[in-house]
Structure 1
Amino acid sequence: MSALPETPRVTACPRYSQAQLRRMSKDEARAVSDKLIGEMRRLDPADPLHGELRAVVVELNMPLVRYVARRFSHRREPYDDILQTGVVGLIKAIDAFDLERGVAFPGFALPTISGEIKRFFRDTSWPLHVTRGLQERFMAVARASDDLEQANGHEATDDEVAAELGITAAEVREGRDAGHGYMVDSLDVGSHDPDPGGGPLTRIPLAERLGSDDVELELVEFRVAVKPLLAELPYRERRMLELRFWGDLSQRDIAEQLGLSQMHVSRLLSATMTTLRERLEADPETDSEPDSAAERPRADARVPAGPPGAVA
């Protein structure tokens, strides 16, 4: 690439208002950035003007930082922290950018900003416990992979990373596996599923894929336990329970069917439920057989018709 044409030297740092920055197009911001970065290269880094020019270049390219930061806004870290980390990446890109390479500054800065934010997450966000040694290996592998990808233009292989770090390919894979302890998806993030009708991919939260408690399954043990207790009740009490809980009748309707007062039905239901509750909560090993024939259920006691297993 031919040398850049000589441009008048910048003797004072240009200032732009927020309104001017908003009206500036991408091409204009890129041209001004290239000019100011070129002027920075002529200055000693200790020169105050060097720092002022770099601050203007940062301001001109803040849309790049916000663009990358929004891609990570779903993380639990505060957005302001992500944005500030992106600014650090932008400053590194400004300091490392070489105008002679013929690469557009945004194309060089974007991966640098993204890599800096990714390093921030690797260093500070480990939802699962991973040993310090594996954390450091994961971060070393990740950084080397980013550097090699940027330098070579393709995704780095395990062998390339191993050669760069002076470790074995197996150790590289072990470092990559340790990253699963860092990159834990939220249950609300979901995954893409194809539409059965051939439509576009839909994102279904993982939480919706989890099974839920089956209330009927929880009642199986209760039904098995209460069945013999119901069989031991007198016919009238069993009939009242059947009408109340399976027939969904009111106490007044039950009283009319059994020829009792509503108050009597209420007392019988309350006493029966108390008895059943005490029997269910009692330790089975302490229960004893009835001592007298009067306490044993009658063999010829009638069993009312009802839902299977309800009062049989």
Structure 2
Amino acid sequence: MSYQSTLTSPANARRTRRGADSYDNIEPLFAQLAALGVADPRRASLREEMIRRCLPLAEHIARKFAGRGESFDDLLQTARVGVVAAVDRFDPDYGAPFLAFAVPTIMGEVRRHFRDHTWSVRVPRRLKDIQQSIGPAIETLSQRLGRMPTAADIAQELDADLVEVTQAFIARNAYQTSSIDAHIATDSDYAPLSLLETLGAEQSDFRTVEDCLTVKPLIAALPEQDRQVLIMRFFESRPQIQIAESLGVSQMQVSRILARMLRSLREQALRD
């Protein structure tokens, strides 16, 4: 039986631990593994046994990340990949226990899975890394400060830029999308409502507001006489003959001013 089948066997996922954790005191096996030659058939068997003994650790870590939008089976498989990496990369000559090396290795594999495979839209890797660190930072700072930390507190804790932390908070909205057909509320008769049914319709006044905001600075930049003609004609609704009398000019001049001014405003607004 290969170690790949060991990783995917449901029976191993439900294996009962015998006494203490099965990965305790596993360091001597690494010494045995190092003493075997690459071609020694006992090497593959011993490596497989070491991986099998560490599978409960993978399940424990996978459960810590459960409930974050990913299926437990995917998390468990990713954690088991981390177990293989930890067994293959651990060096007993450093003197550290295997558990101290394996736990961050497996957790790093799971965090990379969240970072690289579970975002609904593309987000820069730097922001993904910060976003993954925000939760633990909030827990640590809440206990230390006795209150909810601010974005500045979190930025200082993570040694990150405040703008990056703020962007990471915003990036959380890109983690998972919601179907517009998903039921999120009920109406007055307790009938289910989808997200699409709760969205407002487009308001016709929005375009008017947008046009006003576009034209306002252009009107403010008009010469004084042009601005007076515009106000009297379109805001005071005066006929051209009255405008001409107020300004001491002919009606034909008022007509030309209006035509020139409106043409100029239209060209500038469309260009901007």
Which structure has the larger Rg?
Answer: 1
TM-score past 0.5 threshold? no
Please, what TM-score do these two structures have when normalized by structure 2?
0.43
- The structure with more helix, counted as a fraction of residues: 2
TM-score normalised to structure 1 length: 0.38
